[in-house]
Amino acid sequence: MARRAGVSQGVVSLLERGHLEEVSLAKLRAIARALDAEFVVQLRWRGGDLDRLLDEGHASLVGAIVDLLKQSGWHVRVEVSYAVYAERGSIDVLAWHPGSRTLLVVEVKTELVSVEETLRKHDEKVRLASAIARQQLHWQTTSVARILVLPELSTARRRVERHRSAMGSAYPMRGPQLRRWLAAPDGGASGLLFLAVATRRPGPVARKRISQVRRVA
């Protein structure tokens, strides 16, 4: 393991004994790569505030893609849940274009943590989408398309670039080409769309001014 990761046996020994704090991030990532795994650092900040901010970011992205689709004549539903045998989940945005009877399965991510999991779950939703749309919404479809929506941030773009082979194969349509297709869909498509949204950040805790009480003699 040490040889494959390019680290010393002592570093591997530290990990085996649970001394994670004594190993640099670079070496942790190298060991993870040697194991064909992904090393993820999770940040927790101000208790539940970080989760709330992520929820706000997701809601903003959903709102942005819903507005874009409605402007192009799509019928839109959000958070469409499903349970088909062992496959359960929720489609972030399910849209139907009445003119072409195209069904669109939109996956919204505020951050791309696991490319493999994102692709697998999106594939599942696309595979089940026609039946879900027919049974729950009475939408008749002739083709199914999909897009992945990510925030217009440098971190998201770097993540996509890092996995450009897999992401390019799964989501070949991008930018203006994808927007043109959304305005006039003509069959199945698969693309990736970066959307800029504004997320409210909590400000500093306000200071209270305490007035001095004058004592009356």
pTM (global) more than 0.85: no
Evaluate the CA torsion angle 65, 67, 71, 77 in order and state its sign.
positive
Terminal Cα-to-Cα distance of the chain (whole angstroms): 81
Which among 126, 125, 78, 72 is positioned nearest to 99, based on CA atoms?
A: 72
| Residues facing 97 on adjacent strands | 102
**217: pLDDT confidence band, cut at 50, 70 and 90?**
very low
- Any idea where the domains of the chain sit in the sequence? 2-34, 49-195
CA distance linking residue 159 with residue 166, whole number of Å = 11
**26: pLDDT confidence band, cut at 50, 70 and 90?**
confident
Query: pLDDT tens digits, residue range 67-116?
Result: 999 999 999 999 999 998 889 999 999 999 999 999 999 999 998 989 99
Q: Does domain 49-195 have CATH number 3.40.1350?
A: yes
pLDDT value at position 103? 98
- Of the candidate ranges 4-13, 37-46, 128-137, 166-175, the one whose mean pLDDT is the lowest: 37-46
Q: Is 48 exposed, middle or buried (0-12, 13-18, 19+ CB in 10 A)?
A: exposed
